[in-house]
Structure 1
């Protein structure tokens, strides 16, 4: 979908409606556009979030277009994100977007969906998870493989618990480094593929996580016969301006912010810096 702003360079001054701590370094912000406008984004797209006087950062949208307002999961890593973390309910931020190509949720209808989320990669994938749950009868088998570094690093813990109890999702979780609080599976995320059965001709695999994860997960998907065009990766890293003007996200002539952030594996398999 196109950006909601008539001029993509001009941010809409929007209101933080709620702030929730997820981990010591991640928070989720609910944001309301002026006049109660809807963002009308596609799952997998992102916005440019402006903190007046500090700067701007691209942030993946972690809510479904079927939700009220929209949610942004933000990790504190620099000046802009630190400033955002210091904000509270009622504070104002600037929003440009939505931008980029999201997940092909219409094309995926009638097919099985396999989500592979590592670490903060769960945030952009949450948008498509919530969209599928809101339109559950239009999709086939729905499986989520989720990995985190430690139990305390798991994002959206309450939501993960609900998904684990739901008959509409097959959720498999693992952590790299378990502690005494963890009674589930431990190991890297690819260990969750053991015993997993898929119908490759009708399965879409959606992948987002730390860079080191992609190649190993994609090999698992290919090994199960899932076609290149049905393996979708979100490469939200690298982005800066959101408009394909600054060149910061360019990879061999491909602009992540314009041509992505969601790509099929077929589109990026020969881009050495992409994965």
Structure 2
């Protein structure tokens, strides 16, 4: 699979340019990046769920999921929450600025194994980023999948990412259930925590795979809620967030026992998570 991780030096980023920046929420920005080498950009391939390292030169690099789908390759999209030194530096960048990219890294969602299945996405806040790449892949290959339901929530309407796409998702046949934690003026969708809305919607586990990502406390209760609804461990996929430094399994920063999240993840089934739980 062609990528922008150098064969000679896997730590050497490829140069890119920020084409567009979208202010998703008060503390989340989306960056649309094009590699400076047209041949490299044309050859770039990745799978939904894979991640990349973004470099701010003179500051450092951090790992973010590629949340544009592989079916749409005019740019690479990354959404960044401002939480630390590197992310603050990224938020200071402007359209047209240079940026380093090392990608793709890690594993991916099992797209081919999901064919013919009904799909349930359960996301919270920035957790919609890794779900978006798989969701849009399925939208672009709509005839290959069954029902697609998305339950997506945040603290407030202003904390929901990709609001400008919601109508497009619904037009593509996605059953989109939006919720916020409490009432807000003008909000006409659901009100309640994501796990509560999941229990209320109660999507059947028959021939369905559930994929969840969001804050750890949300995932904890979502996993419990899915079990209550009858989902088996191998019907549940999620992503793990641990500090990834090298991205290639050498530094040991992201290991859980003998599992390296940057290589063996970030996508795991609940079956795998239960096998790893003693190491967490």
How much does 1:239 deviate? Answer: 2.3
**Larger mean Cα displacement after TM superposition, 142-151 or 175-184:** 175-184
Structure 1 equivalent of residue 24 of structure 2? 22
**Match among 156, 162, 181 for residue 150 of structure 1:** 156
Listed one character per residue, the Cα deviations across residues 212-245 of structure 1 (whole Å, up to 9, x for unaligned) are 0112111222222222112101113332221112
**Match among 201, 210, 216 for residue 211 of structure 1:** 216
Structure 2 equivalent of residue 232 of structure 1? 237
**Larger mean Cα displacement after TM superposition, 75-84 or 113-122:** 75-84
Change (3 A) 1:195 1:75: closer
Gaps of 5+ in 1: none
**CA distance, structure 2, for counterparts of residue 227 and residue 58 of structure 1:** 30
**CA distance, structure 2, for counterparts of residue 259 and residue 189 of structure 1:** 28
**CA distance, structure 2, for counterparts of residue 15 and residue 82 of structure 1:** 18
How much does 1:35 deviate? Answer: 2.5
Q: How many residues align?
A: 274
**Match among 194, 200, 214 for residue 189 of structure 1:** 194
Output the aligned Cα RMSD: 1.8
Gaps of 5+ in 2: none
**Match among 113, 125, 130 for residue 124 of structure 1:** 130
2:116 match: secondary structure: coil
Structure 2 equivalent of residue 256 of structure 1? 261
Listed one character per residue, the Cα deviations across residues 49-78 of structure 1 (whole Å, up to 9, x for unaligned) are 111111010011111011121100011111
**Match among 166, 169, 193 for residue 171 of structure 2:** 166
**CA distance, structure 2, for counterparts of residue 138 and residue 11 of structure 1:** 35
Asked if 1:79 is matched to 2:85, the reply is yes
**CA distance, structure 1, for counterparts of residue 251 and residue 153 of structure 2:** 33
Listed one character per residue, the Cα deviations across residues 138-168 of structure 1 (whole Å, up to 9, x for unaligned) are 00010001010111111111112332x4251
**CA distance, structure 2, for counterparts of residue 3 and residue 136 of structure 1:** 27
Structure 2 equivalent of residue 9 of structure 1? 11
Change (3 A) 1:107 1:161: same
**CA distance, structure 2, for counterparts of residue 75 and residue 205 of structure 1:** 25
**CA distance, structure 2, for counterparts of residue 70 and residue 175 of structure 1:** 29
Asked if 1:134 is matched to 2:147, the reply is no
Structure 2 equivalent of residue 100 of structure 1? 106
**Larger mean Cα displacement after TM superposition, 6-15 or 17-26:** 6-15
Listed one character per residue, the Cα deviations across residues 112-149 of structure 1 (whole Å, up to 9, x for unaligned) are 11000111100111111111111001000100010101
**CA distance, structure 2, for counterparts of residue 185 and residue 159 of structure 1:** 18
Is the contact made by 1:60 and 1:124 (CA closer than 8 Å) also made in structure 2? Answer: yes
1:29 match: secondary structure: strand
How much does 1:175 deviate? Answer: 0.6
**CA distance, structure 1, for counterparts of residue 15 and residue 37 of structure 2:** 10
